[in-house]
Structure 1
Amino acid sequence: MSNLSAEQVILVDVNDRQIGVAEKLAAHQLGQLHRAFSIFILNSQGQLLLQKRAKHKYHSGGLWTNTCCSHPRPDESLAIATQRRLLEEMGMTCELKELFSFIYRAELDQGLIEHEFDHVFLGYSDRPPILNPEEAEDWQWIDLSKLQADIRDRPEVYTYWLRDCCDRFISAL
């Protein structure tokens, strides 16, 4: 977890105005509201690219989630951060557009609290990802209706933030 201590996140207020920075791990230990993003990539059949988080991640390891999630660095725009992380995690790039944003707070494993102002982005690609094993251990394309049903039937296999925003994402399409 030493790398997590070196990484910083942008602390924000409920209007997404920057109010400071904090070490990533400390922000998650204290439940401080910080800026984040979630990327959803759809293929030409309208299926969503899911990733299974690597088991050794600092929280939510081994859970299925949307294509890519992360945090912009201080002084890094969301446009740059989303492209950087999509390439780092999934080995891919594509045009992204922001659909909406929302705030959520969840108590996670490892005693951590996720409290994020999350910007949700949409992109399209038919290319299979090239996973970074430090970030993700598996991937799949899934029909959106099947995903909604599976989240209802087996919520424990999905990340909190995907469960929280899946219906909103589908409604925003």
Structure 2
Amino acid sequence: MTEVFQIPYGDHPSQFGVFRMPGVSGLSPVVITIHGGFWQSKYGLEENDPLDEDLTRRGYATWNIEYRRVGEDGGGWTGTFIDVIDAVNHLTQLEERFLLDLSRVVILGHSAGGHLALWLASRINNVQTDEIDSTLLVPIQSVISLAGVSDLRKMWDIHEEQGGVSQVASFIGGSPHEVSDRYRLAYR
């Protein structure tokens, strides 16, 4: 029997996750899911519910995280990045209660969530000296990026060529010409 919990990892209304625990004995491996939607507040974590339900039926604990997005107080640079680190690190507080095997953690992100999953992987074993002064405490075994936005500069170029507003610029806080260091840090 799967148990489902909505658990906050911070004080903002978007700093929470939906945790699903499989009905198995022993330690459970964990899959962290991060939703897409170009980091925009109009999209939410519910897009991952069917995937998480299936993974839980297969014996994985799932942690479907929400985060502050563009259009919300604190969303975008640097809040979104800090949120995904804090959400992953929150597993250390859930580990004993739910019998989690934090040596077997996979991050799976879709679209903008794929970008965030890849970005999290870039922070493994790195000493952080950038504007995003948060350390990843949970070891990540694997990362899966489904249609991840892996090149923010290229995506900015595509939006610029189409004459539209760039969701990447809204997320990062400017164009690659205005805040080039942020683009480098956001997808290294």
TM-score by length of 2: 0.29
Higher Cα Rg: structure 1 or 2?
2
Structure 1 or 2: more strand by fraction: 1
Higher relative contact order (CA 8 A, sep 6+): 1
